[in-house]
Chain A
Amino acid sequence: MAVATLPHGAAHDEGVDRLYDETRSLRLQGFLLFLISDCVLFSSFIFAYLYMRNSGQGWPPPGISRLDVAFASLNSVVLFGSGATMHYALENWKHNNFGRYAFFMISTIILGAMFLSGQAYEYTNLYFKEHVSWAGSGIFGASFFTLTGMHGFHVSVGVLYLIILFLQSIHGVYTKDKYFGLTAGTLYWHFVDVIWVVLFSIFYLI
């Protein structure tokens, strides 16, 4: 199906190209500042959790068993795998290979959704089998559900963001030379991966 395009003059195209070149680094800096502010948000919650954890009665508190490391490892690998596929999606876009780009992009979206499903399964397990809840299990429940829930929210937004980016790329919004949205999407997805490295380590491994 042919996609209808508006007629553009050469001067207009040159203006758009120049505007893109001139503002690209500014947009990148703005996006990085957004990621840094998000990093500060997570850091404040993480340090609050670590402080409370080390000022209490041992960890996990009496009556609460340790989290399931085997399942969390599997779920973590799913998320980290999605980071790798996202990277290759961007690389293939840069090299004008749309077929491979689509494959890796769809893989990333599926893996992100799988991670969220895994998290939902873990929450259900904790709530119904271990009777751990956000409000009823003290600092442990509050900090675990707040931090992992906040991360899960970021992953959910990321999955929606990637779906929108994929639809935009299908409809010709991005070109081989102008693809800042895809770069920003990749940066965001790597960011949620990296945050999970920290959360996985502090909740499951120490």
Chain B
Amino acid sequence: MQIDIAVLERVVAIVGGILVAIVSAIALKNDWKTPGMDNQVFKIMLALLCLGAVIATLAGVGVLGNFPAKA
């Protein structure tokens, strides 16, 4: 059985994206009440990291960046 490399890339991207999104969301939740300027910046960065992981997952699924082939 031959596996299409693009399908394999998408599957790994989806699984990894979900994992990273969950892990960064948990890290954000754990850090939510920490004080200090550096921690405030970390919270913004973690939120954007989570967003990035969701975007990568959606791209892997084909919801984003799924353009029709040109004729």
A194 to B51, alpha carbons, bound, how many Å?
A: 9
Is A52 an interface residue, CB under 8 A from the partner?
no
Is A88 an interface residue, CB under 8 A from the partner?
yes
The residue on B at minimum CB distance from A32 is B41
Given A72-B59, A197-B55, A205-B59, do A77 and B41 touch, yes or no (CB 8 Å)? no
Say yes or no: B9 contacts A80, CB within 8 Å: no
A68 to B46, alpha carbons, bound, how many Å?
A: 26
Q: How far is the CB of B64 from chain A (nearest CB, A)?
A: 5
Is A186 an interface residue, CB under 8 A from the partner?
yes
Q: Is the interface of B mostly helix, strand, loop or mixed?
A: helix
Q: Most chain-A Cβ atoms within 10 A of its Cβ — which of B24, B42, B60, B65? A: B65
Q: Which size bracket describes the interface of A in this complex? A: 35 or more
Q: What string of 1s and 0s marks CB contacts (under 8 Å) between A147-186 and chain B? A: 0000000000000000000000000000000000001001
- B10's partner among A28, A73, A183, A186 (CB-CB below 8 A) is A73
Q: How far is the CB of B38 from chain A (nearest CB, A)?
A: 5
Say yes or no: A80 contacts B65, CB within 8 Å: no
- A87's partner among B12, B24, B51, B55 (CB-CB below 8 A) is B24
Is A66 an interface residue, CB under 8 A from the partner?
yes
- A77's partner among B37, B56, B65 (CB-CB below 8 A) is B56
The residue on B at minimum CB distance from A85 is B23
Q: What string of 1s and 0s marks CB contacts (under 8 Å) between A86-106 and chain B? A: 011001000000000000000
Is A76 an interface residue, CB under 8 A from the partner?
yes
Is A144 an interface residue, CB under 8 A from the partner?
no
Q: What string of 1s and 0s marks CB contacts (under 8 Å) between B28-71 and chain A? A: 00000000011001100110110111011101100011110000
